[in-house]
Structure 1
Amino acid sequence: MTISLVRVDDRVIHGQTMTRWTKARPVDGILVVGDSIAHNKLRRRVLKAAANDLKVGIYTVAEAPEKIANGVASKKRFFLISDSPQTFSQLVDMGVDFGQKLNVGPMNTRPDTKVLGNTVAIDQADYDAFQNINDHGIEIQFQLLPDDSVRSWTTLKNKYDSMD
């Protein structure tokens, strides 16, 4: 498979993506999936600029199955990134094969979220999405940077469940 990193990151493409993750995982281009991102012209321009010389494709969830399949079949290596676990949940429900691991980076505090750790705050919709992804046999790894320790969905799910 030529998808070298599948990641949820609320900032999508930023300094840590470009300086740390591209050094840890081979990459020739970035596939970004998300309806709100794809329909926001300013955000599209900012993300493409942040990727420096890497090619970036930004797609809606409806466009994603074909684009991801093309990326998997390619000899080039891609990061597949979305700003939301709901996007990946939709993709697994659509039968899209993007690999067996989902890396989760920053999901910062938003209204109605529970803070589960450094840079991880999720709401019920995120929880349901992660559980659906997990139920499809995909390992979910919470990891801000490549050299950070990995926290599992089971660990963070239990923490979420224990909170009021």
Structure 2
Amino acid sequence: MISFVRVDDRIIHGQTVTRWALEYPCDGIIGVNDAAANNPVLKAAYKGAAPEKKVFVWTLEHFKESMDKVLASKTKYFLITKNPLDMKTILVDYGFKPSDIDRVIIGPCNDRPGAIKLGNNQSITPEEAQALEDITKAGYTVEFALLKDKSIGEWPQFRSRFDVK
């Protein structure tokens, strides 16, 4: 079962996970990112960021193979990807639909070349903007929030800054 869906370029970060767990109970975390899942050092670091939780760091392909088990599980997991593109793959392309989840929280997305700054530590590229548009069209509300009480708004507020279809 999924209790919370988030995009965070740090994937798993102890302070943020602790804070969001106050709002959305969880027993474990599933971080999905091909590079992290294939790097033993990164994988160990992410698992160490939340030692009191069950932590998994999976590739997109492994998530696809396991998503039905995740949905059927009684364990409450956070689903976190490093970027909006991976989240779009899971929610739109794979058709993953956690029950009772209709909101995707966009956390830190660092400034990068080609990215448009939306708020403090929240910048997205045009390609990521299209992914967020696709997630929205799939029925989700996309909200930009580093923490629960630090929201800068929802996707429609920023859509006009991008050429999305």
Does the pair score TM above 0.5?
yes
Residues 129 and 162 in structure 2, CA contact (< 8 A), matched pair in contact too: no
Q: Which residue of 1 aligns with 2:33?
A: 34
The percent of aligned pairs where both chains have the same amino acid is 37
Q: Which moved more, 1:145-154 or 1:132-141?
A: 145-154
Q: Name the aligned partner's letter for residue 135 of structure 2.
A: I
Q: Could you tell me how far apart the structure 2 residues matched to 1:63 and 1:5 are? A: 19
CA displacement at 1:154 relative to structure 2? 0.5
Map 1:9-158 to 2 at 5 A: 9-91=8-90, 92-98=92-98, 99-149=101-151, 151-158=153-160
- Unaligned ranges ≥5, structure 1: none
Q: Could you tell me how far apart the structure 2 residues matched to 1:8 and 1:50 are? A: 16
CA displacement at 1:6 relative to structure 2? 0.3
Q: Could you tell me how far apart the structure 2 residues matched to 1:97 and 1:65 are? A: 12
**What SS does the aligned partner of 1:63 have?**
helix
TM-score (structure 1 length as normaliser): 0.90
Runs of 4 or more consecutive aligned structure 1 residues displaced over 6 Å after TM superposition: none
- Unaligned ranges ≥5, structure 2: none
TM-score (structure 2 length as normaliser): 0.89
Q: Could you tell me how far apart the structure 2 residues matched to 1:88 and 1:134 are? A: 12
Residues 4 and 77 in structure 1, CA contact (< 8 A), matched pair in contact too: yes
